Structure 1
Amino acid sequence: MAERTSRPGARLRARALVVRRLLAGAPRPRSVRARATLGASAVVAVALGAVSFALLGLLHGNLERSAQADAERQAVATAGMAAGGRLDPVLAAGRGTDFLQVVDAGGRVLAASPNLAGRPALSGVRPARPGTVRDTWNGRPVREEHRQRVVQVTTATASGLVTVYAGTSLRQADTAGDMITAALAVMVPLLVLTVALVTWRVTGWALRPVEAIRAEVAEINERDLHRRVPVPPSQDEVARLAVTVNATLDRLEAAGIRQRQFIADASHELRSPITVLRTQLEVAQAHPDPALWGELVSGALEDTVRLQDLAADLLLLARLDTAEPAPAAPVDLTAVAREAARPRGGDRVPVGVELAPGVTVRGSTLWLSRLVRNLLDNAQRHAARRVSLSLRVDEERDLAVLEVSDDGPGIAEADRERVFERFTRLDDARSRDEGGSGLGLAIARDIATGLGGSLSVHAAPDGGARLVATLPRTARGSSGGSWAEPGPDRGEGRPVP
């Protein structure tokens, strides 16, 4: 049998293998611009390669089918002549046919076209029954440099089986394939290079605002938080990124301002009792009169307690500001509120209690106790004759609602958010003996928000202030974690049961 070949397909497969090896061994680019360019170029190269392969296959298939159809018509016509006994020794090849040969069952050439005159049988294989065989030869049997498409038709005659060989050259198909392959070998790299260049330029243009944002952020330090990154006018993802970065810088700047203000206020609050304590000690040292020591020691102890309370408040605020997870153990808020109000029955302003039974929330006993105590301390400081503590359940929102109200002067609507700022004292509460340190309500709100709730100020029905804390309820008996808060005396952690 003649050797088969498919040169254009083999060339494309070899080139694809080379490209895959080159891509496998190439280093991966690090920049987004380079990766985008490489990805777009690879996709276009693969797509063009697939299209080129399909185009070459379609072209070769059409040309070969056309050549085969001409040869088959000639072979069938010649076979009919042989079956009818009208076969001439010299056969004329028709349109689209290069050669003809008729061979009997014994291998003797009965007829042939002029270009095969005197030649032996083209194939040594003798068919055993009638039929048609289509094959592609590489040209050697008929001494052609191009491939031939050969149709072999075997038919029965009076003297036995006769085989007709009709062949046509595939030079046109091979020439067209070579020309298209050469054209694609030039055009495909040019197209890929064009796509790579366009992608590189477009990606660079698209990423230019990102690079500007990166350069600006790289130059911002803790002293330059007022600076902002440029926002491109494109209103796309990059513009939204710039807006988000600027919003983050706004929050960082505000946090820095709050931190510096907090440090300044804390320093001021700590300096006053320390100064008073030092003055008392200096007086005691300068006037060693035992009659004055009791009053001096009492004043020094009072300032020391105040310093201790202030340090505990600052430490709790620092812990509330950290990213530690909030305590999540189930706590009986009813019991916590009752325990916080019990020792205040004999105070100057007594506390009236109205508590719903069995109200359970997630949190920490120490945190919730501190929340209730701070609200009661604030109310008693400003109340005239009455402070009320109530706890109820909001069934619709599944919240525990804790309210502390007083009959004092109340809080103006413009100051109802400012009272929760740290070290804030309103004009009627600037006395340190009555106004506290200015951290109680700030700590109370931080605790409420840390536990997933809220704390707000409203006007009481009798004109005083009404502080309302809401906390998410939880089912009694659910599992939870534990939390440790520094003790009021030595800062030691005490686990919450």
Structure 2
Amino acid sequence: MSESARPSMVRTLRRRILIVVAVAGIVLAIASVWGVGLITLRTAETQVRVTAQTVTTWPQLQRGGLIIDDAQLRAANVGSTVVALLDADGQLVAASADTAIPFADLEDVAGAVHGDETARAEIAGRSALFTRVDLPPGTVYDDGTATPVSTALVGVGMEAADRLVTALALAALAVLAVVLALAGVVVTLVVSRTTRSLTVLADRVEQSHLTDLAASPAGEFGETESVARAIERLDGRRDATERRLRTFVADASHELRTPLTKIQGWTQLHFQRPDDAETTERAFGSVSEESERMGVLVDRLALLARSEATSPVRERVDLREVCRAAVEDAALLAPDAAVAVITDRPVVIDGDPHAIAQLVRNLVGNALRHAGPHASITIDVREEGETAVLVVADDGVGMAPDLRDRAFERFVSGDRRAGSGLGLAIVEAIAVAHGGVVALESEPGAGTRVTVRLPSAASR
């Protein structure tokens, strides 16, 4: 996806926040309207039951019986109240409502209401809540003709309550629209202000202005500050890598320049004296010697490059056996050297057997070359918890402090004639590639001690 096609963080955050606000507003509006509707319904139920209980007090003792006269019924025809009197068969006898309301509809409603229940019905376009109540036994309705009645159907109009709920719903929608509009403006301002640190951070990274990247406003918030500091650390590692690469190239060029210069000089001398057999022999001998030196240097550089990569080979390697093989090799190369292995049991690690063997050979070879002719060398292999420890120590001449502090750098050597200065750099690269560390201790005249710590096979 192209950069222009990617969604904007500001628009995305604004849209998501507005969706949350809208959903919350809709839920709140629905809850409010539902709550008001429920309250009005409960109020209407209370009102219709109170009215029904009032109707039960209408019968008055007259002429030896309980009578509801026509005047009482007509007096009830106020507002939205409906009162209907029914006989024992459920037939409508009289009603306080306008005669425009069909009696049959009232009879149907009366038939649908049982006991103390309430029911809502639409009568002649009017919405009302009805309940049914029993009248005292022997009650008659007197409109000129005494008609026995047993129950009363009482209804309270719901139009006002419905209008209130509708008005509330419309008001909620209007308020929600206003809130969304205001929220859109506020969210845009807040999100834009909040994401400004990311915008500034991106601009500074784009322009490679990485100094004090975590300062405000790029580091105004904890998250952006963490990103800024991570970029600063990454830039620092990149600079360090570039410096090491430049140093490596410069050192490699320096190391190769000397043999190349010698080869060039002897070649020119040979062409200047083609008939001088002695000069030709010395020239070809020097060219061969310097070519071999260059070959060794290139091989070690290639080994160093491979060692710095994570080893793809993981096999069980017994450090004790590797060290014993290194001692046997040392006995062939330096018969007079005193090299011994101190270990009482196998120490197994997971790693590249060739790389581990190279590590041990480099440590032993360094000790043989630099410790001195009468030094003794000991190799100690042991386990400390889940760590395999390899220690190569000698009691030789030791190292000067300035050389000791730079011992693992490339092309650092106390004696150029004795080596290329890549041995310990290769050791460190192999140790790091296997998840380990290497340390060196040395004092002039007190010998040198190199300790390599690698994860044991048990730790994996």
TM-score (norm 1): 0.78
2:90 matches 1:113: no
CA distance in 2, matches of 1:306, 1:179: 97
Aligned residue number for residue 446 of structure 2: 463
2:82 matches 1:93: no
CA distance in 1, matches of 2:100, 2:70: 9
| Cα shift at 1:355 | 3.2
Asked if structure 2 preserves the Cα contact closer than 8 Å seen for 1:138 and 1:148, the reply is: yes
| Cα shift at 1:343 | 3.1
2:342 matches 1:328: no
Q: Deviations over 1:133-164 (max 9, x none)?
A: 42222341xx54xx222223356855987442
Letter in 2 for 1:86: I
Asked if structure 2 preserves the Cα contact closer than 8 Å seen for 1:71 and 1:166, the reply is: yes
Aligned residue number for residue 14 of structure 1: none
2:361 matches 1:373: yes
Asked if structure 2 preserves the Cα contact closer than 8 Å seen for 1:41 and 1:193, the reply is: no
Asked if structure 2 preserves the Cα contact closer than 8 Å seen for 1:383 and 1:407, the reply is: yes
SS at structure 1 position matched to 2:316: strand
Further displaced range: 382-391 or 278-287: 278-287
2:14 matches 1:53: no
CA distance in 1, matches of 2:380, 2:176: 79
CA distance in 2, matches of 1:442, 1:74: 102
2:138 matches 1:149: no
CA distance in 1, matches of 2:266, 2:199: 62
Q: Deviations over 1:389-426 (max 9, x none)?
A: 31221434532222132412x22344433111112234
CA distance in 1, matches of 2:234, 2:70: 97
Letter in 1 for 2:321: A
Describe the shift of the 1:218–1:305 C-alpha distance in structure 2 as closer, same or farther (beyond 3 A): same
After TM superposition, list the pairs within 5 Å mapping 1:121-270 onto structure 2.
121-125=104-108, 127=111, 131-140=115-124, 144=126, 147-153=127-133, 157=137, 162-220=150-208, 229=213, 231-232=215-216, 234=220, 236-270=222-256
CA distance in 2, matches of 1:341, 1:64: 99
Aligned residue number for residue 143 of structure 2: none
2:294 matches 1:314: no
Asked if structure 1 preserves the Cα contact closer than 8 Å seen for 2:340 and 2:378, the reply is: yes
Describe the shift of the 1:29–1:108 C-alpha distance in structure 2 as closer, same or farther (beyond 3 A): farther
Asked if structure 2 preserves the Cα contact closer than 8 Å seen for 1:82 and 1:162, the reply is: no
Asked if structure 2 preserves the Cα contact closer than 8 Å seen for 1:130 and 1:155, the reply is: no
Asked if structure 2 preserves the Cα contact closer than 8 Å seen for 1:154 and 1:161, the reply is: no
CA distance in 2, matches of 1:103, 1:466: 115
CA distance in 2, matches of 1:184, 1:167: 30
CA distance in 2, matches of 1:128, 1:438: 106
Describe the shift of the 1:108–1:138 C-alpha distance in structure 2 as closer, same or farther (beyond 3 A): closer
Out of 372, 377, 397, the position equivalent to 1:388 is 377
**Structure 1 residues without counterparts, runs of 5 or longer:** 1-27, 479-497
Asked if structure 1 preserves the Cα contact closer than 8 Å seen for 2:113 and 2:119, the reply is: no
Out of 247, 257, 279, the position equivalent to 1:271 is 257
Aligned residue number for residue 87 of structure 2: 104
| Cα shift at 1:254 | 1.0
SS at structure 1 position matched to 2:106: coil
CA distance in 2, matches of 1:394, 1:437: 32
| Cα shift at 1:120 | 3.0
Describe the shift of the 1:121–1:162 C-alpha distance in structure 2 as closer, same or farther (beyond 3 A): farther
Aligned residue number for residue 51 of structure 2: 74
CA distance in 2, matches of 1:71, 1:38: 48
CA distance in 2, matches of 1:330, 1:244: 37
Asked if structure 2 preserves the Cα contact closer than 8 Å seen for 1:362 and 1:474, the reply is: yes
Overall identity of the aligned pairs, in %: 25
CA distance in 1, matches of 2:233, 2:33: 57
Q: Deviations over 1:65-116 (max 9, x none)?
A: 2223222232344356569742223413288762211122556542322634
Q: Deviations over 1:472-494 (max 9, x none)?
A: 22259x9xxxxxxxxxxxxxxxx
Letter in 2 for 1:433: R
Aligned residue number for residue 413 of structure 2: 425
| Cα shift at 1:470 | 2.1
| Cα shift at 1:246 | 0.9
Asked if structure 2 preserves the Cα contact closer than 8 Å seen for 1:132 and 1:151, the reply is: yes
Describe the shift of the 1:118–1:424 C-alpha distance in structure 2 as closer, same or farther (beyond 3 A): closer
Describe the shift of the 1:127–1:364 C-alpha distance in structure 2 as closer, same or farther (beyond 3 A): closer
| Cα shift at 1:170 | 1.6
After TM superposition, list the pairs within 5 Å mapping 1:8-23 onto structure 2.
none
CA distance in 1, matches of 2:413, 2:101: 124
| Cα shift at 1:52 | 1.2
Describe the shift of the 1:208–1:415 C-alpha distance in structure 2 as closer, same or farther (beyond 3 A): farther
Aligned residue number for residue 144 of structure 2: none
| Cα shift at 1:375 | 1.6
Aligned residue number for residue 445 of structure 1: 428
Further displaced range: 230-239 or 200-209: 230-239
Letter in 1 for 2:303: L
Matched residues, number? 435
**Structure 2 residues without counterparts, runs of 5 or longer:** 139-146
TM-score (norm 2): 0.84
CA distance in 1, matches of 2:178, 2:6: 22
Letter in 1 for 2:41: E
Describe the shift of the 1:382–1:111 C-alpha distance in structure 2 as closer, same or farther (beyond 3 A): same
CA distance in 2, matches of 1:457, 1:128: 100
Describe the shift of the 1:36–1:96 C-alpha distance in structure 2 as closer, same or farther (beyond 3 A): same
Letter in 2 for 1:379: A
